[in-house]
Amino acid sequence: MNLGMGEIVLLIVLALVLFGPKRLPEVGRAAGNAIREFKAALNGIDSKGTGADANANAKKTSAGEDESGT
């Protein structure tokens, strides 16, 4: 997907018309956070920077101890 200078300018102008100059930074920030969370979910990293598998194993262990009465 090759975008030339004309297409990029058109997209920027269209974004400014749709969202306005005050709201555009908020939209960009929200999109960036969404992309970051999506990438982290693909890599299996939770918001604290630890692996999701380690967190799931800890929950299983604590749930197993509660069920056995120990």
Asked if residue 26 belongs to a domain, the reply is yes
Give this prediction's pTM. 0.49
Asked if residue 14 belongs to a domain, the reply is no
Asked if residue 1 belongs to a domain, the reply is no
pLDDT tens, 8-39? Answer: 999 989 999 999 989 989 999 999 999 999 99
Asked if residue 4 belongs to a domain, the reply is no
**pLDDT mean across residues, the chain:** 78
Q: Looking at the predicted structure, is the pLDDT value of residue 2 above 70?
A: yes
Asked if residue 39 belongs to a domain, the reply is yes
Domain containing 26: what range?
20-55
Asked if residue 37 belongs to a domain, the reply is yes
pLDDT of residue 33: 96
How many structural domains comprise the chain?
1
Asked if residue 7 belongs to a domain, the reply is no
Concatenated DSSP letters for 10-51?
HHHHHHHHHHHHHHHHHHHHHHHHHHHHHHHHHHTB-TTSSB
How many Å is the Cα radius of gyration of the chain? 21
Lowest mean pLDDT, pick from 13-17, 39-43, 54-58: 54-58
pLDDT of residue 45: 72
